[in-house]
Structure 1
């Protein structure tokens, strides 16, 4: 008979190592959801409020890890993980470590190997919401590593939000994290640049945001990307409704408008140059999504 993990919070103790803003949010949420929670931080004073709410402050990393089967680590980076967890004196053997700091896929693979050498079950993870949203059922948490490890602790991870297992490859969570944050920053920069451009004529940001965010993006951009994403996988970019040559013309007009209005021009010129590269690659008659062929290839290194 296969043992099924308990879904009762009181049966699933958790340790949280690292009490920065995100670590505090994780521990606070686990306490609210009824999990026996142990915490450790290099500065013990940061745990004062958590202890007042019922958390247990461990005296050492080894004590913290030994307190339960699952430890969430929320530190600055992978080197800090090794520095801190190197103090556990073997206490982590046979337990599960979920690493929620950011980094690169290569660093995640190295951490998984490091954990395996110590007899530790390992998941790499990424928190895709700010601290105030931890605990919301819709808040996205990404995990990668052995499926059986994820399944064993899914109920506990679900206390934090919506846990998504991306695959057995431990590098997938940080890879998705970098991709999604890159999308976020590119989108925010696009909005901020557009707001600066109309602002050059005295248009208020709040007025433009209603038009751009509530009306234009959902109907023109979001719907287009969701509908045409399969074309990216197929390398199919039909240009019947508009070609890259047409888009390059529009991008040139955007850059010239920025010059006229005295607004920063580097971002639109970069977009124009990327479109020109796609045309040089033979995609002039394709639609704008053909710039995907430029992005998927490494750019030449320059000195």
Structure 2
């Protein structure tokens, strides 16, 4: 089967800093690096490195050929990434010694996708395929609605958080993935706690505190512990979690086992600097879990 991912493709510029900058502060970086990123690209790479087939639906500018090539090298199908006149999306990422980050994003090509192109891609889906999206592109609601009409399971990672975008997506979402901060923001916006949301499965990542899965059909809540690691760079950890979770489900794993796999993958990711380029392979994640 295939996971169809509507998502962003960014060039990530990393700056290591002694601390995250304060408002008005000029801060000298201690190092610089450029890599592949964007939530769509990160999730797609994670799905591919976890061993599942993934089709990335997105856009890059004329400067984005290297990003398409790198995605292909990681095993992501790039036949539905279109070229547009706008510059490619990019992100400026400051990372402190504790691995915490501060990110500035320019959407660029990611926000000019056309509905006809997205629908044309999704008509190539097969039985059992899943649809995944987040908030760094346009066309989310339209694409999710169309995917549902085709019988696809819709998975939505509610980041970067936007209350209006999330509320628009809830009626067409089968699985919602968000972190603790986003969950609190959503509760403030809607007045609904995570276990009251009209979504079959809600997954809340809690960082070092683990993960909570709310199964509304079974009316059960499951709590999973995190793997203790020393974080080097938390950028892309949530995307890695999402990608490995969906790959596990795509491969027939029970939700409990898929969450466990995803937690291990995210824990291993934060021990490495970078985003898509630092996402571990399935064999590394399995070895990490065994060693731990």
Give TM class, smaller chain: 0.3 to 0.5
- Structure number with the higher helix fraction is 1
Q: Which protein is bigger by CA-based radius of gyration?
A: 1
Higher strand content, 1 or 2? 2
